[in-house]
Amino acid sequence: MAHVQLLGTGGTIASRGSGAQGAVATDTAAELARGQYGELTVSSRDVLTTGSYRLSLAELRLIAEAAQEALADPGTDGVVVTHGTDTLEETAFLLELVHSSPKSVVLTGAQQPADSPAPDGPRNVEEAVLAAASPGLRGSGVLISFDGTVRSARGARKAHTTASNPFQGGAEVAHMAGSELVVTARPVRRPALSLPPESFDSTRIEIITAHTGATPDLFDFAVRSGARAVVLAGSGVGNAGPGFAESVARAVEAGCVVVLSTRAPWGPVVPVYGNGGGTDLVAAGAVPSGDLNPLQARILAALLLSLGTSPAGFPEAFTAHL
């Protein structure tokens, strides 16, 4: 009989109340684990109980440690993490970066609070448990299960504020057909990195977004005020306006890592344009993020730097995990 551990962290799935004070996460993991699982058994543990918009890197490290502990239990066949949708893609990607077990970790949540007239959390949890225990998904790493679709953590992002399935991107690896889970693909995996050390908590990585008329002032401030790295979410295939290439060069010279991503929802960073565009930004020392969106690029940068990767060694280390 397969056994799944459910780790609760809060989020809408654990929230109640819709009055003037707003919904607040209160439900425990044990309450979320109440469901119909057939022959599967489920145990639960609370790691956090908070909205995911309140999480810092310190809390992400705690979740990663809890997931690794659960995976190491020989009596556990898979792990489910319940999580707020706001920042779920960031936590999921950190868990993927450090995941080395053949057992699956599946993140899920809800778009409706637990006390809403039609809560979606119970169904999402049941489907996530099914995915975590599935022999067909063994070796698939960290996944996101929501509203009948299971996708890889890498490349996923919240793409809608209120839709029943707010996530897009990544690779769809399975879907529900009635009460059956149908496995359709297996994600490509990268070698696992070490768990984040305590220094991960304070590794400051800022995201600066390019837009029409943007100046590099905020970028420069981030560097001056102590950021270890800056992710530049450029326009299009990875571009920014006047002055940014010069600011990137100064940042890199000062020992601050610069990652070039894109504000576009989908597609890779492909340096093409000069005159201050992506070609000049890379020539100035920015490291292209490939298909990683700015949020997941930030998580990878924070983990690498906290593990002791030097600015000189960063481009090779970062590129190895794209």
* Separation of alpha carbons 236 and 159, rounded Å: 18
* SS3 (DSSP) at 127: helix
* Separation of alpha carbons 160 and 166, rounded Å: 5
Residue with tokens 């949708």: 85
Q: Which of 152, 186, 4 is nearest to 78 (CA)?
A: 4
* Separation of alpha carbons 51 and 89, rounded Å: 14
User: Is 85 a known active-site residue?
Assistant: yes
The single residue of 9, 12, 76, 309 carrying the catalytic annotation is 12
End-to-end alpha carbon distance in the chain = 37
- Lay out the sheet containing 229-234: strands in order across: 205-209, 229-234, 257-262, 287-288
Strand spans (E) along the chain: 3-10, 15-16, 24-25, 41-50, 78-82, 104-108, 142-146, 149-152, 156-158, 167-169, 172-177, 180-183, 205-209, 229-234, 257-262, 287-288
Q: Which of 162, 167, 76 is nearest to 116 (CA)?
A: 162
Q: Which of 251, 243, 238 is nearest to 215 (CA)?
A: 243
The single residue of 85, 91, 203, 309 carrying the catalytic annotation is 85
User: Is 12 a known active-site residue?
Assistant: yes
Catalytic residues: 12, 85
